[in-house]
Copies of this chain bind each other. A is one copy, B any other.
């Protein structure tokens, strides 16, 4: 091997994720990432095709982490589907508060996520939805829940809840009502 490497793809993506949260997407410049990694900007292009690809990798890594946490949430919860749904919602919301920029990146439209990661992150939701609404309506129920959750958190992050009222309470209200709405007598 010639001259030892001073960085790695993982290091670059990690630096990018940190920078995304601390400075925002538009400050996520190749120079800033390179500086954080201890290298000059052009050197990044040995590992990453361009800025868009780097952003895609960051989104991908973030989505995988979310998927892992969602799996964990379902495993921790009791077997009651309503409780599991609440857990899923809470974990996703906590994640969004912890990494708001990353969350926006995932659910925004600027990045096209690959099918596999999408399926992986949907799996736990689909399972709970099936338990709650029955197999037949599982996909619709999962979509209704995911849409609500995503919308709620997006609006919260965007500061769109400025008409008063308690946001925590609105969240609890929302989960409970969605669970009720989606539950079938047969399922949950």
Chain A residues close to B by CB (< 8 Å):
100, 104, 107-109, 112-113, 115, 118-119, 122, 137, 139-140, 143-144, 146-152, 154-155, 157-165, 169-170, 173-174, 177-178, 180-182
Contact = CB atoms under 8 A, between A and B. Distances in A.
- Where chain A touches its partner, the secondary structure class is helix
Contacts of A107: 154-155, 158, 160
A180 B108 CA distance: 29
Nearest to A126: B163
A140 B108 contact: no
B170 A144 contact: yes
Q: How many copies does the complex hold?
A: 2
A129 to B, nearest CB: 12
15 contacts: A108-B108, A109-B159, A112-B159, A118-B162, A140-B170, A140-B173, A144-B152, A144-B177, A147-B149, A147-B155, A147-B174, A149-B151, A154-B154, A178-B181, A181-B181
Contact of A104 (B108, B160, B170): B108
A136 B157 CA distance: 25
A14 to B, nearest CB: 23
Contacts of A154: 107, 109, 150-151, 154
Contacts of A108: 104, 108, 158
A122 B149 CA distance: 19
A70 to B, nearest CB: 15
A140 B165 contact: yes
B149 A165 contact: no
Contacts of A109: 100, 104, 154, 157-159
Contacts of A118: 160, 162-163
A155 B163 contact: no
Contact of A177 (B112, B164, B165, B181): B181
